[in-house]
Amino acid sequence: MLKINSDLHTHTIASHGKGTMEANVRAAKNLGLKKIAITDHGPAHLFGIGIKNPQVLLDQKKEARALAKRWPQIQILVGAEANIISPEGELDLPEDILAQLDLVLVGLHPRVRPTSWGAAGDLILKNWLARFPRFQPQAMRANTQALICALDRYRVDFITHPGLHLRIDTLALAKAAEARGVALELSAGHGASREFVERVLETDVNLVISSDAHRPEDVGNFQKALALAEDFKIPKARILNADK
């Protein structure tokens, strides 16, 4: 039976979540998890979804140290779900901030503030046009290349919910991630597709199963991802946060 020991992708009221850091930590501790990661959305995420500024993450690091004294049973990590904001894979957090985080997650999201009008053409216009079949291959290539470029530019732990909302070439991304030692997320919160898992299993890339919880009560809820993992008989060794 596959057992996940850590929830490495959760959100708080600092970005798009509904609970505090302590509420997420308490939920994870009550489930017997070994680790909980606070990974709020980067600041380029529009419509109030992202953090206000990078300093929020450093404040969370301080809070995590205080919480660790009160909750010694569980390791508390602070990271971020950084947004890609250019076709060259730029992220919406400066490198000096990224260097201080315990985890760097990278997501490709549709409603972000790009670096320039040219970047908007690749990241926004092409994906808007992708509602028409003739433009879908072009959008897929641009999205996939932006993700791969981010892996080349930064230290990335895993890519969140690949292919959610925006089309990607899953096989190409999985091969690139494997070559660079980066994992892909099997998201319980968003429900990865069977097609995604099939393509991923054509490679040896590692996976992380996470809740992507936006409420404390969803922390540690891995059921949808676990069902897929068990369906496809994914080896424990390939899931980085599973008991071996």
The predicted-structure confidence for 66-78, as pLDDT tens digits, reads as follows 999 999 999 999 9
Tens-place pLDDT, residues 211-233: 999 999 999 999 999 999 999 99
Q: Cα 130 to chain center, whole Å? A: 23
Cβ atoms < 10 Å from Cβ of 21: 23
- What pLDDT was estimated at residue 77? 98
Convert the pLDDT of each residue in 24-53 to its tens digit: 999 999 999 999 999 999 999 999 899 999
Q: What CATH number is given to the structural domain containing 22?
A: 3.20.20.140
Residue at 1 is within a domain: no
Q: Indicate the average pLDDT of the chain.
A: 96
Q: Assess if residue 34 is contained within a domain.
A: yes
Asked if residue 214 is part of any domain, the answer here is yes
Structure tokens at 220: 């540690």
Asked if the structure places residue 244 within a domain, the reply is: no
User: Which residues lie below 8 Å from residue 84, measured CB to CB, with a gap of 6+?
Assistant: 90, 91, 106, 107, 108, 109, 112, 123, 146, 147, 150
- Percent of the chain surpassing pLDDT 90: 94
Write down the pLDDT at residue 127.
93
Q: Is 243 within the bounds of a domain?
A: no
- Run of H or E residues at 197: helix 194-200
Band the pLDDT of 191: cuts 50, 70, 90. confident
90 lies in some domain: yes
Considering the domain boundaries, does residue 86 fall inside one?
yes
Is residue 11 in some structural domain? yes
Please tell me the total count of domains within the chain: 1
Look up the domain containing 197 and give its range: 6-238
